[in-house]
Structure 1
């Protein structure tokens, strides 16, 4: 039972990861925050937090 549970969790996480990757590629928010990080206007942790919040709203 535990093996099946772990396998199902892995499949779900992989699916979510793929969907998030597609969302980030198509969303201008990601590139906007990336530019802010590159220009030292924002740190990566703050940007990641803001992007995560925008994805789960």
Structure 2
């Protein structure tokens, strides 16, 4: 963790961090849809992350 990073302590924190990451990538032309393998070495579990665009409801 770098000095600028804040610790994630809840699912809400994780969601906010993921939202910020996805928006930043999208605004920089990265295709964020699809599946991503997150391999993390022996100390941490590996994850498979799937990102799909969802239709906005009328209130957003």
Q: TM-score range by the shorter chain?
A: 0.3 to 0.5
Higher alpha-carbon Rg:
1
TM-score, normalization: structure 2? 0.33
TM-score, normalization: structure 1? 0.34
Q: Indicate the structure with greater strand content.
A: 2
Q: Indicate the structure with greater helix content.
A: 1
